[in-house]
Structure 1
Amino acid sequence: MTVGILFGSFAVLLLLSVPIGIALGIATLLTIIAADTVPISFLMTELVTSLDSFPIMAVPFFILAGEIMGKGGISERLFNFANSLVGSKTGGFAIATIITCMFFAAISGSGPATVAAIGSIMIPAMVRQGYDKAFATATVAAAGSIGVIIPPSIPMVIYGVTGGASVGNMFIAGIIPGVLVSVSLMVWAYLYSRKMGYKGTLEKITLKHIGQTFWHAKWAMVIPVIILGGIYGGKFTPTEAAVIAVFYGLFVGLVLHRELRFRDLPKVIADSSLTTATVLIIVGTANAFGKFLTVEQIPNQIANWMLGLTENHIILILLITALLLLVGCFMDTIAAIIILTPILLPIANSIGYDPVHFGIIMVVALAIGFITPPLGVNLFVSSGISGLSIEKISKAVIPFFFAMVFALIMIVFIPDLSTWLISLGE
């Protein structure tokens, strides 16, 4: 009965379009009242204590850093550099867009933020270059998902806190999978562009032009080196890295690029505060939801049930992966990580999966949810930029979806893609 009330009320609230953070809180409260196994104060206590965490402090700072750098002239410089590398090739603009999203992902840590920052520049540019608007919009929506796979990544911070894994190791482990997902998207972009006859620019690739665009984008290119190098070199923690990213972004935007003005800062801070508040409400209510599941021993029951279905480890990990893809269609990535990690991580451990490797699987699988309806946050953001309907974008994004699933399967069955870089530092 407890499980039915908890998940049933949550499903009904989602169908009524109640925001997911509020839906999680209401569903937990209703179940607490009905079950009468914990006091009502349990919900309020969890809302506070779940946010009382040093690693969680990285979340608002990475959000603020992404907002600052998105307004500081970084996006266009990154694209110019990417375009100098591949712009003259078939589908060069599409491939350059994906590469730009890779670079920006190493700054923002957010999928929708990547779509917003890159899409506003690249969707109109691709259309002017002759690409059809649906493909251009789908390219940005899909590539924006890389924002949470390539570090720094807000979902990786949440998984590290929830699953007890090192956030620094999660960041390092996400590099190769992020590149793999990006290359998979580029392959489809190239094949579609060749089929449709989307030629590159007439400009030849020259080392001089590459050097010039790299020089203009150099301050943006340094950011991932500072963040990952500092974390992996033991100079600072992920939370401290997020603070450094904020001040570095301010310095670049205000002093070096001079495209960010002091008068822009109130809006930047307001936008990042709104995003942060939304994320932290989800974190707090999802933690209360998950802790109540644990109190009722529901994760153990689900784990035992799944382990009882089959003894075949391959089938079991495929079932878990399919579950994550399905959940990603309906639930916010952060909420899904907080709720599902206590349920699925013990199962993954029991069949020999390293916690960091499994964390990457979770993040990548749930990142695909950014482009799958009905949630599909990236679809809505890109739709707002291009003006196309969700239906048209969803149809155009299907091949990108399969490209990402192909990359996910490789990540699931080749652990070294996630753990090799970590092993180099041991």
Structure 2
Amino acid sequence: MEILILLGSFILLLIFRVPIALTLIISSVLTGLYMGIDISALVQRMVGGVNSFSLLAIPFFIIAGEIMNEGGISNRLINFANVIIGKIRGGLAMVNVLASTFFGGISGSALADTSSLGSVLIPMMKKQKYDADYSVSVTISSSIQGVMIPPSHNMIIYSTAAGGVSVGALFMGGLGPGLLLGLIIMILTYAIAVKKNYPKGDPIKKEEIPKILREGLLGLFTIVIIMGGILSGIFTATESAAIGTLYAFIITFFVYRDIPISRMGVILHRSFKTLAMVLFLIAASSAFGWLLALLKVPAMVSDTLINISSNPYIIILMMVIILLLLGMVMDMAPLILITTPILLPVATSIGMDPVHFGVLLILCLGIGLATPPVGSVLFVGAAIGKIPIEKAAKGMLPFYGAMILVLLLVAYVPQISLFLPDLIGK
């Protein structure tokens, strides 16, 4: 009955479109009252959920991404990518993918990637006679790299939910799959461009190239500071995030100087709104997850999956299917917090490394951001491209195939995720 109240009220409230954080809290309180648990115990669990030093990195990553986004980094990365790869057939589409790779390493957000780069590149692609659904699909699918390529605040959320898995190892674990995803999408993008005879990119004046490369590299150096600090052991993830934010502030306001420093108030306001949502979700899911553990739901799920099949490959496939289906109807951050305590014990019971599982989890839920009916990235891309969701989803079909291919490779070839963490000894 306790499990029925917890999960039943959760599903019912979701159906009535109650915000996910409130849904988690209401379900937890109702279950706690039925079980006779003091509400103060749930409150303590919520406070304990956000009382983590590693979570301090999240606000810095969010602020750094907002600063660079507001300060015109997207246009500079587009120009930088155009210098590298823009001359070939379908050049602007290829620039889109490569710019997403670079931008993902700064923002760590697929939604920010699509919003920022898409608002520039989708109209540009349509103007150069690219089909609208193709332009939107390239933008959406390439933005999923943003949740994989470090630094990703979703990796930090998983680390917290998993009980302290190394953030550095997760960052390194996501890098290989993120770059593989970008490469596969780039190959598909080029093949479609050749088939449909899309135009080559416009030539760039030679005298402009040094400035474009310099400004692009200055922005990308944010990633070097963050990852270099973590991997060298000089900084923790939190310290690297703080120093990276300071660097982003200096570059944006004193080097690029596209916006006045008075815009910092707007940037902080937007960052704190995002942070409030993230921390509220973490607090609410901590109470919900504690009740799940108390009611032994993870053990029940583990036993059920193992009873269906004891084959590790089949169990991994079932977990992937569960995560993909959930990702189609819920957002990423709450799903990380809800599914990790349930499925991680299943993964470790079949010998799966927690880093490998974390990368697989993030990739599954990242794909969910681009799938109907509630994929936020899909909606944003369709809105920017001014096409119906149905047309955007249809145009995404070959790109879904590419993402599923990468997902299966990541699921069944652990070294794609574990090679770099093992190499650096994280």
Partner of 2:168: 168
d(CA) in 1 for partners of 2:253 and 2:292? 47
Q: CA deviation at 1:404?
A: 0.8
* Distance change (3 Å), C-alpha of 1:325 and 1:210: farther
Counterpart check, 1:261 vs 2:254 = no
Corresponding letter in the other structure for 2:314: I
Counterpart check, 1:200 vs 2:207 = no
Q: CA deviation at 1:145?
A: 1.5
Corresponding letter in the other structure for 2:28: T
Partner of 1:28: 28
Which runs of structure 2 are paired with 1:13-412 in the superposition (5 Å)? 13-36=13-36, 38-163=37-162, 164-203=164-203, 211-412=210-411
Q: Is the 8 A contact 1:286 1:339 kept in 2?
A: yes
Q: Is the 8 A contact 2:85 2:91 kept in 1?
A: yes
3-state SS, counterpart of residue 374 of structure 2:
coil
d(CA) in 1 for partners of 2:240 and 2:313? 37
3-state SS, counterpart of residue 89 of structure 2:
coil
Q: Is the 8 A contact 1:85 1:210 kept in 2?
A: no
Corresponding letter in the other structure for 2:161: T
* Distance change (3 Å), C-alpha of 1:41 and 1:221: same
3-state SS, counterpart of residue 131 of structure 1:
coil
Partner of 2:12: 12
d(CA) in 2 for partners of 1:194 and 1:46? 55
d(CA) in 1 for partners of 2:395 and 2:260? 38
Per-residue deviation, residues 139-169 of structure 1 (Å, max 9, x unmatched)? 2122222111001011100111121210011
Q: CA deviation at 1:202?
A: 4.8
Q: Is the 8 A contact 1:85 1:205 kept in 2?
A: no
Corresponding letter in the other structure for 2:113: T
Per-residue deviation, residues 70-99 of structure 1 (Å, max 9, x unmatched)? 011211111111112221212211111111
Corresponding letter in the other structure for 1:396: G
Q: Is the 8 A contact 1:79 1:97 kept in 2?
A: yes
Corresponding letter in the other structure for 1:228: M
d(CA) in 1 for partners of 2:60 and 2:374? 25
d(CA) in 2 for partners of 1:371 and 1:199? 26
Corresponding letter in the other structure for 1:363: I
What residue ranges of structure 2 are gaps of 5+ in the alignment?
none
Corresponding letter in the other structure for 1:85: I
Q: Is the 8 A contact 1:88 1:205 kept in 2?
A: no
Q: Is the 8 A contact 2:298 2:345 kept in 1?
A: no
d(CA) in 1 for partners of 2:238 and 2:136? 33
Q: CA deviation at 1:204?
A: 7.9
Per-residue deviation, residues 4-35 of structure 1 (Å, max 9, x unmatched)? 22222212222222221121112222222233
Q: Is the 8 A contact 1:88 1:199 kept in 2?
A: no
Per-residue deviation, residues 194-247 of structure 1 (Å, max 9, x unmatched)? 2221121253898x8765532221111211111111101001111111111211
d(CA) in 2 for partners of 1:387 and 1:261? 31
Per-residue deviation, residues 289-345 of structure 1 (Å, max 9, x unmatched)? 111101111111111111111111111111111111111112221211112112211
Q: Percent of aligned positions with the same letter in both sequences?
A: 38
d(CA) in 1 for partners of 2:205 and 2:253? 32
Q: Is the 8 A contact 2:25 2:288 kept in 1?
A: yes
d(CA) in 2 for partners of 1:358 and 1:402? 21
Deviates more, 1:125-134 or 1:146-155: 125-134
d(CA) in 2 for partners of 1:175 and 1:210? 28
d(CA) in 1 for partners of 2:270 and 2:202? 39
What residue ranges of structure 1 are gaps of 5+ in the alignment?
none
Corresponding letter in the other structure for 2:172: I
d(CA) in 1 for partners of 2:46 and 2:388? 37
d(CA) in 1 for partners of 2:394 and 2:286? 35
Q: Is the 8 A contact 2:114 2:381 kept in 1?
A: yes
d(CA) in 1 for partners of 2:77 and 2:97? 11
Q: CA deviation at 1:380?
A: 2.1
Q: Is the 8 A contact 1:169 1:356 kept in 2?
A: yes
Q: Is the 8 A contact 1:84 1:205 kept in 2?
A: no
d(CA) in 2 for partners of 1:123 and 1:16? 34
d(CA) in 1 for partners of 2:205 and 2:409? 32
Q: Is the 8 A contact 2:331 2:375 kept in 1?
A: no
Deviates more, 1:146-155 or 1:15-24: 15-24
Per-residue deviation, residues 165-211 of structure 1 (Å, max 9, x unmatched)? 100110111111100111121122122222221121253898x8765
Task: Give the structure-1-normalised TM-score.
Answer: 0.96
Q: Is the 8 A contact 1:173 1:422 kept in 2?
A: yes
d(CA) in 1 for partners of 2:3 and 2:52? 29
Per-residue deviation, residues 254-290 of structure 1 (Å, max 9, x unmatched)? 0010013112111111111111111111111112111
Deviates more, 1:126-135 or 1:358-367: 126-135
Corresponding letter in the other structure for 2:302: A
Partner of 1:421: 420
Q: Is the 8 A contact 1:62 1:108 kept in 2?
A: yes
Corresponding letter in the other structure for 2:197: G
d(CA) in 2 for partners of 1:314 and 1:186? 29
Q: Is the 8 A contact 1:141 1:379 kept in 2?
A: yes
3-state SS, counterpart of residue 87 of structure 2:
coil
* Distance change (3 Å), C-alpha of 1:118 and 1:69: same
